[in-house]
Amino acid sequence: MSGVCQVARTQDLPPPGGYAPIPYKRIPAKKYFSGYFMFAGYLGMTFGSLYLYSLNYKQIKRDEIEMRSAKMAIYPMLLAERDREYLKQLRRNRDAEAELMRDVPGWEVGTWYGEPVYKLVPRDKLVEPIFHEYYAHSDPKEWFKRTDIKMWS
């Protein structure tokens, strides 16, 4: 046993008097508010939020009425501007056709070599062109923008 260190082994024992008992019973939560107080709080919050909602709803309705009135007031002018731009584009198309076909002998604008395209339509009546003819002499970006609006709206 010489050269071998001996360690004194001691066993862990419970504290004097033993361990405290393990709590296994249900511990109810602390009551901060009674049921009546919670119900009254719910009703108070509900009526308060309804009051604030009604104030906001009145403001939104007032704004909607104003915007609808403004749209109704400006709508005839927007229609007139749209019609003016339509007629301007028809004029530009006619002028572009005249410029493009000026060197072709016998070509008359609005006809097929002097023969009317529409035989039963009077000469002074406007024949609205199809979509592709309307944008024939304009920038392709305008045509793409219009088709995109037409397809997605």
Contact call for residues 86 and 135 (beta carbons, < 8 A): no
The ranges assigned to domains in the chain are 43-152
pLDDT in tens, 12-54: 888 888 889 888 888 888 888 999 999 999 999 999 999 999 9
Rounded to 10 degrees, the C-alpha dihedral 77/82/83/85 comes to 120
The confidence score (pLDDT) of residue 3 equals 56
The confidence score (pLDDT) of residue 41 equals 96
CA distances to 47, 50, 66, 107 from 53, in Å: 10, 5, 20, 70
